[in-house]
Structure 1
Amino acid sequence: MIFLLCVIIVLAVATYFYMKQPQFGALPEGKRLEMMKKSPHYKDGKFRNLTEKPTIAEGYSFAGEIWKALTVKFPHTEPVDALPSIKTNLKTIPADRNVMVWFGHSSFFLQADGVKILVDPVFSGRMSPLPGKPSAYKGSDIYSVEDMPEIDYMLLSHDHYDHLDYETVKALQSKVKYVICGLGAGAHYERWGYTSKQILEKDWGDKVDVKPGFTIYTENTHHDGGRGFKSSQALWLSFFIQSPAMNIYYSGDGGYSNRFKDIAKKHPAIDWAIMECGQYDKAWQSVHELPEEVALATTELNAKNLIPVHHSKFTLAKHPWDEPLKEITKHSQNKNYRLATPMIGEMVDLDDNTQVFRQWWKNIK
């Protein structure tokens, strides 16, 4: 018993000091914490979803899902072949082009009305602070911080490791004018060397006026956050980008809810919906949409075009790696929106409704 107790103490101390490393970020304190407490969405020491419901669905359990992950080998969860990709030179895109370039998972670059926006960038090849997998698929990690142009706004949907990457964000600091993130998330950026002037922390229903006719709205989603033992200390967001050229909605992560109807009422005429579609499971359906729910949500948004993201870079769920693309293609048949499925690095011309995207995932082993 004494030996076992010593082992537990040593492990606890080692874990404590390991989690003091910078990649774990920082918890909000002082004025930042006081600002959070004023939010109607911060209650009893953490941020809350508008409608609270269990993360794990009825009939499933955390222990059961962890056991499956440790003991069951699910088929085809990552590709054997390298994924096809295109290396677009982001620094030479003319300022008058309205474009989107996807980097795999939920990382992408937007240029609208000359404003350069980088969303949830992860370029380290990893989505965990722990050594080993999950690592990026072959061919999916061709972009680096050095490939990025000067960025006007970097947007963070939430502070999970597959969206907020320490190595990437720290290296980007000198290239980024402003970061727009949820309340509390600024503690991470501040620890990593960002100045208070760079960090714009927002609540649901807030906005940032970029220039005349160009506004970025921070809206809600149904998810959570956290990089350590204390969860939900940084608010999770979706974004509505209203520019003179077009309107773009990015869902961030989150399960299906009535919010899409509400967002459509508040922000009509969505030209492009960039929607989470991947790393889902019926066990945690409340916080990650299934493909059929993505199709329904896009219809409720009245969006003209859909780009599915959150897939094709990391394995975080039990489904085959290409299932999200196959399923959203199937569920998008005869819908009131157009499905766009670019390869990693392929430039999407946001002004061209006739651009053709091939089903690039076919025949990949």
Structure 2
Amino acid sequence: MKKFLKIIKKTAVVLLCLILFGFSVVYFYMKKPQFGALPEGDRLEMIKKSPHYKDGKFRNLIEKPTITPGYSMIGEICRSLAEEYPHTEPLDSLPSVKTNLKNIPADKNVMVWFGHSSFFLQLDGVKILVDPVFSSKASPLPWGVKSYKGSDIYTAEDMPQIDYMLLSHDHYDHLDYETVKALQSKVKYVICGLGAGAHYEKWGYTKQQILEKDWGDRQEVKPGFSIFTESTHHDGGRGFKSSQALWLSFFIQSPSMNVYYSGDGGYSDRFKKIAEKYSPIDWAIMECGQYNKAWQSVHELPEEVAQATTELKAKNMLPVHHSKFTLARHPWNEPLEKISQLSQGKPYRLATPMIGEMVRLDDPAQIFKRWWKNVK
């Protein structure tokens, strides 16, 4: 019996040491700079004044479970591990066009998409960069999500001087540490949700560069040109503590046109309200990809994207959040296929540029190829 108890004690000590070692590894790994920082001090006090911050975290306007009723988180994890899903990433290298962003004439209104939700906008001479991710990964882990072949043709070095860099939310597929660090000297201002400024400040951005916004706020760029920050139904977080930085959509109102970027988020009646508040919308840049019925509340399905675009009364729609990272189980090209089908007969024009292709925002006759059709 004594010998048995001694073995039990030794086993318990070994297990305890392994657990402590595991916790130590996680603790020190989480100290790496790419995890960013939590808001504290004056920033935290500012956050507490927001009507959307309650009980220690930001909340959606209408609270509902992330996981759709009838599904479970454990069930989805088990399904991902046990089942195979075909064609979730391309075998071929994606086709692309390398547009020289530094040589675009200042009087041209253009948009260039870099894959997933990263894109460059030039409107009335103002240069805007949105959710840039150029590091080829969407995870802080070395074995995490990697970008598709051919989707990383742009780097921070290719960017011109940026007037405003916009952040929709602080998930890794939208806020990339390496990219943001490399861009710091090129960016005049960052517009982000309340709380997200803690990340930028930790990464070397000055307080003067960081403009933290709540839903319904406005940033005047110049006379007749404003950027409004609006709601979406999503969440945020880069560590164990979620929803400490607010998630945004953007309405960009320039003298010559209006552009709406949805950010990430599930369907709600906010699109009708945006149309009533800001119409007309010339271009809607809409999240369309990395969806699943199990988490439909935080990522729209393609049919909801088409419905939302119609409710926005947008003249043109460009889908993003696809063709760079596999974050869901659908075929990688399904978002483009489905939105192309669903957009037939709709009151908006669908634009499907390939990575790097210049979209001429003033040109209603520009034609876009179905570039994904011949990609294996």
Q: Same fold (TM over 0.5)?
A: yes
Tell me the alpha carbon deviations over residues 261-287 of structure 1, each in whole angstroms, 9 at most, x when there is no partner.
011111110000000000000000000
Q: Secondary structure at the match of 1:362?
A: helix
Q: Bigger shift: 2-11 or 31-40? A: 2-11
Give 1:136 shift. 0.7
Whole-angstrom distance in 1 between the partners of 2:219 and 2:338: 35
Match of 1:211 in 2: 222
Q: 2:110 aligns with which of 99, 107, 122?
A: 99
Q: CA deviation at 1:72?
A: 2.2
What is the identity, as a one-letter code, of the residue corresponding to 2:165?
A: M
TM-score (ref. length: structure 2): 0.96
**Can you list the C-alpha shifts for 1:108-163, whole angstroms capped at 9, x where unaligned?**
00000000000000000001010124111011110000000000000000000000
Alpha-carbon distance in structure 2 between the residues aligned to 1:116 and 1:3: 58
Corresponding residue of 2:64 = 53
Q: State the SS of the aligned residue for 1:11.
A: helix
* Alpha-carbon offset, residue 66 of structure 1: 1.6
Quote the Cα distance in structure 2 between the aligned partners of 1:346 and 1:191: 34
The whole-number CA distance in structure 2 between the counterparts of 1:224 and 1:5 is 35
| Structure 2 CA distance for aligned equivalents of residues 328 and 262 of structure 1 | 23
- Distance in 2 of aligned mates of 1:170 and 1:59: 42
How does 1:1-365 map onto structure 2 within 5 Å?
1-365=12-376
Shift of 1:5: 1.9
Mapped to 2, the partners of 1:111 and 1:68 lie a distance apart of 43
Deviating more after overlay: 21-30 vs 3-12: 3-12
- Report the alpha carbon displacement of residue 71 of structure 1 after superposing the two structures with TM: 2.9
Distance in 2 of aligned mates of 1:23 and 1:68 = 30
**What is the SS of the residue equivalent to 1:177?**
strand
Please give the secondary structure, in 1, of the residue aligned with 2:112: strand
Q: Which runs of 5+ in 2 are unaligned?
A: 1-11
Aligned residue for 1:299, secondary structure, equals helix
Report the 3-state secondary structure (helix = DSSP H, G, I; strand = E; otherwise coil) of the residue aligned with 1:304.
strand
The structure number with the bigger radius of gyration is 2
Identity of aligned residues (%): 78
SS in structure 1 of the partner of residue 373 of structure 2:
coil
CA deviation vs aligned residue, 1:181-201 (integer Å, no higher than 9, x gap) = 000000000000000000000
**Alignment partners' CA distance in 1, 2:149 and 2:116:** 13
Q: Give the deviation of 1:13 after TM superposition.
A: 1.3
Could you tell me how far apart the structure 1 residues matched to 2:366 and 2:158 are? Answer: 25
Give 3-state SS (helix, strand or coil) of 2:185's partner: helix
Quick one: distance in 2 between partners of 1:24 and 1:57?
28
Name the SS for the 2:19 alignment partner. Answer: helix
SS in 1 for 2:91: coil
Structure 1 position 73, deviation (Å) = 2.0
1:70 positional shift? 2.6
Distance 1:68 1:132 in 2: 20
Deviations 1:76-130 (A, max 9, x none): 0000000000000000000000000000000000000000000000000001010
Q: For 1:232 and 1:326, how far apart are their aligned partners in 2?
A: 33
Cα distance in structure 1, aligned partners of 2:363 and 2:130? 22
Letter in 2 for 1:74: Y
Cα deviation per residue 1:170-189 (whole Å; 9 max; x = unaligned)?
11000000000000000000
Structure 1 CA distance for aligned equivalents of residues 82 and 355 of structure 2: 32
Task: Determine the C-alpha separation between the residues in 2 that align with 1:2 and 1:285.
Answer: 45
Aligned to 2:6: none
After TM superposition, give the deviation of residue 69 of structure 1 in Å: 2.2
User: Equivalents in 2 of 1:48, 1:349: separation in Å?
Assistant: 37
In the comparison of the two structures, how many residue pairs are matched? 365
Which amino acid in the other structure matches residue 216 of structure 1? I
What amino acid does structure 1 have at the position aligned with 2:162?
Answer: I
Separation of aligned partners in 2, 1:239 and 1:262 = 14
CA displacement at 1:2 relative to structure 2: 2.4
Cα drift, residue 9 of structure 1: 1.3
Separation of aligned partners in 1, 2:130 and 2:143: 25
The one-letter code of the counterpart of 2:317 is: L
The code of the aligned residue for 2:73 comes to F
How many Å separate the matches in 2 of 1:52 and 1:222? 9
